Amino acid sequence: MPAHSTVTETHVITTTGLTKTYRSPRSRGREVTALDGVDLHVREGEVYGVIGQSGAGKSSLIRCVNLLERPTSGTVTVDGRDLTALAGRGPRAGKELRQARSRIGMVFQHFNLLSSRTVQDNVELPLEILGKSGKERSRKALELLDLVGLADKAKAYPAQLSGGQKQRVGIARALAGDPKVLLSDEATSALDPETTRSVLQLLRDLNRQLGLTVLLITHEMDDVKTVCDSAALMEKGRIVEHGTVSELLATPGSELAAALFPVAGEASGDDRTVLDVTFHGEAATQPVVSRLSRTYNIDISILGAAVDTVGGLQIGRMRIELPGRYEDNVVPIGFLREQGLQIDVLGREALPVKDGAQ
């Protein structure tokens, strides 16, 4: 675990058996399952990414966390409070649920800022709902705008801001109620890559500075790679893989790891052995490739590599090619495994393991 991480072992968001089915009015009586028994555990202080294609149910999932959508069954617990129990029966949110929501910040893909209010008044809105005095509201709003780097835009209207600035206002607004948890619903999907990076960086900084737990959903693998401590992959309303980034990487056959650290390259001949070397943790600091080359006096070609520094540690994967068939390379492969590296030999399928990366 990275040294300056704020992650603790307490679960701050937990969903158990979360199911959501819609009965769309068009397809008479036919039910659409958006969530199919989702168990999610987000630890305090981490940035948790949920990734999946559109329609996978990730949006329903995040909207169920603050009960903007009522789950059909299952429970949602945020910061020790069972929100599903607070919700009551009707479609309207009762007082207790509304109070709980004010401690959960949310940022949206389309920012959802009120066009009739200035930037400062937008940030003050949650404080008005909390019944804070005018003086306190403006002090807090200006402080938050400073935190997101928009102190000079307090009197501007949202229409006068760029997309990235709007999302910063959205983030400042989400923080106004001093939330423990921030939900980010595709917050960067409407932004260009440059702005996306700066907004993600801001979320990361806030996570570090304030110990804020962030649950973000996205369809961009890059977002996960940039900021997330943990990630989950959703398909058809279910979580098919989940874990910390290095846990996922250590899981043979992990789709998420393959997508996060894609390596490509084919063997250059029949009498070659191609290996995928996955390194994470301590092993990553060892110069294994050159040591292997020297020890066994073999030529190694690197076919592809995807390496990243996550929390100060190098993690990633590399595809290398050794001369000779697999049978000739048993000893070097054994050497690599002894170094604590995970080795997958291409063409000799490891058993794909799914849903077991914990």
Exactly one of 45, 52, 71, 126 binds another protein (CB under 8 A); that residue is: 126
| Least distance CB 167 / another protein (angstroms) | 10
- On whether the CB atoms of residues 93 and 40 are closer than 8 A, the answer is no
- Of residues 151-170, those binding another protein (CB under 8 A): 157-160, 163, 166
Size of the site for another protein (CB under 8 A): 36
Give 100 or 284: the residue with its C-beta nearer to another protein: 100
Binding mask 92-121 for another protein (x = CB under 8 A): xx----xxxxx-x-x-x-xxxxxxxx----
Residue 184 or 246 having the CB closest to another protein: 184
Shortest distance in whole angstroms from residue 348 CB to another protein: 50
First-to-last C-alpha distance (Å) of the chain: 15
Considering the rule CB under 8 A, would residue 54 count as an interface residue with another protein? no
Output the smallest distance, CB 199 to another protein, in A.
Answer: 14
Cβ closest to another protein, residue 110 vs residue 238: 110
Contact mark string toward another protein, 177..216, x via CB under 8 A: x-----x------x--------------------------
Q: Is 32 in the site for another protein (CB under 8 A)?
A: no
- Per rule CB under 8 A, is residue 175 in the interface with another protein? no
Q: Collect all residues with Cβ–Cβ distance below 8 Å to 60 and sequence separation of at least 6.
A: 20, 34, 35, 69, 237
**259, containing H or E segment:** helix 255-260
Distance CA 220, CA 58 (A): 13
> Which residue pairs, CB below 8 angstroms and at least 24 apart, start in 31-37?
33/237, 34/60, 34/237, 35/60, 35/61, 35/64, 35/71, 35/74, 35/237, 36/236, 36/237, 36/238, 37/74, 37/238
Task: Quote the CA–CA distance of 27 and 301 in Å, as a whole number.
Answer: 56
Using CB under 8 A, list all residues that contact another protein. 66, 68, 91-93, 98-102, 104, 106, 108, 110-117, 125-126, 128-130, 157-160, 163, 166, 173, 177, 183, 190
